[in-house]
């Protein structure tokens, strides 16, 4: 990438957020405009990762309702799922419970030319498993002792590792969880576990603090994003991750569509296709 290309990349990654509403939150139009520019950069990142064989691993952690899912969707909605892979593992099976703790995460780590995004990760042990009593204190302490060396091994293997914690206020978390109860489109986001964990705010705070103290290392630091304004948080995180990865926009040849082949005697068959009714057209009439 030439000097102008790098300047353009840095300019997009550092752009301010115009268009705030009266309540101080980012408006939809300003958000969508800024996100569209960042999506172009994410596509460039994707092409660079494919061509260079880079390996990128992005970890998202935070309380229920902090905005992890929406942030991941914003990152991935315009790129290839074959390059940007999202990993959101369910509760471990009995077999997985008997394995070495990190074992089921290792198989999902990126190979060359891949970006893997963990929607919750091995840090479950330091968070939900600790707070909800799914792991013993001895298991948690052992995890916190070993996770720095584990991540050092990842980085030494050539993986670019980024760890994000989304920090939401108690008031905003309450508002979002109540919205899940009232909105039929969001009911699937609310589990019995979410309700139990909601009541344990300060236990989660203590678990988070211990996790940061043990695993905020020079080779794998934690980055905290304030997420009460979810649109602003998404843009800030995308800009930040773009600045952490030394990608370059690949050179592209000019693309022109080839001529379409001649009809060559083709005759459409007399076949009654089972078409989908245009119910929107009926409503318009």
pLDDT means per 10 residues in the chain (285 residues)? 58 57 77 96 97 97 95 98 97 94 97 98 97 96 98 98 98 93 84 84 97 98 97 97 94 89 92 89 64
Residues 6+ apart with CB under 8 A from 275: none
Place of tokens 């989660």: 204
- What phi and psi values does residue 102 have, to the nearest 5 degrees? -75, -10
- Residue 223 pLDDT: 98
User: How far is Cα 167 from Cα 173, in angstroms, rounded to an integer?
Assistant: 10
Distances in Å between the Cα of 111 and the Cα atoms of 79, 81, 116, 170, 224 are 17, 14, 9, 38, 26
- Residue 241 pLDDT: 98
Q: Are 132 and 29 in contact (CB under 8 A)?
A: no
> Could you tell me which of 58, 63, 281, 81 has the C-alpha nearest to residue 172?
63
User: How far is Cα 124 from Cα 121, in angstroms, rounded to an integer?
Assistant: 6
- Residue 120 pLDDT: 96
- Residue 280 pLDDT: 82
User: How far is Cα 220 from Cα 162, in angstroms, rounded to an integer?
Assistant: 7
């Amino acid at each position: 990438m030439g000097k102008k290309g790098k300047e353009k990349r840095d300019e997009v990654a550092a752009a301010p957020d115009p268009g705030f509403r009266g309540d101080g939150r980012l408006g939809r139009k300003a958000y969508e405009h800024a996100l569209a520019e960042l999506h172009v950069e994410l596509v460039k990142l994707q092409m660079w990762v494919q061509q260079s064989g880079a390996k990128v691993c992005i970890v998202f952690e935070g309380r229920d309702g902090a905005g992890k899912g929406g942030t991941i969707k914003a990152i991935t909605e315009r790129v290839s799922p074959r390059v940007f892979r999202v990993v959101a593992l369910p509760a471990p099976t009995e077999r997985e419970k008997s394995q070495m703790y990190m074992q089921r995460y290792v198989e999902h780590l990126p190979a060359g030319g891949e970006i893997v995004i963990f929607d919750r990760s091995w840090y479950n042990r330091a968070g939900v498993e600790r707070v909800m009593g799914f792991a013993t204190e001895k298991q948690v302490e052992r995890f916190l002792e070993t996770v720095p060396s584990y991540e050092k091994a990842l980085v030494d293997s050539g993986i670019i590792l980024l760890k994000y914690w989304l920090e939401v206020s108690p008031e905003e978390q309450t508002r979002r969880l109540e919205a899940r109860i009232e909105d039929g489109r969001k009911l699937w986001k609310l589990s019995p576990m979410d309700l139990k964990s909601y009541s344990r705010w300060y236990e989660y705070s203590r678990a988070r603090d211990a996790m940061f103290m043990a695993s905020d290392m020079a080779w794998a630091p934690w980055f905290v994003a304030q997420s009460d304004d979810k649109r602003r948080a998404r843009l800030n995180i995308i800009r930040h991750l773009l600045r952490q990865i030394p990608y370059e926009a690949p050179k592209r040849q000019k693309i022109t569509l080839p001529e379409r082949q001649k009809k060559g005697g083709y005759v459409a068959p007399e076949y009654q296709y089972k078409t989908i009714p245009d119910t929107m057209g009926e409503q318009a009439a």
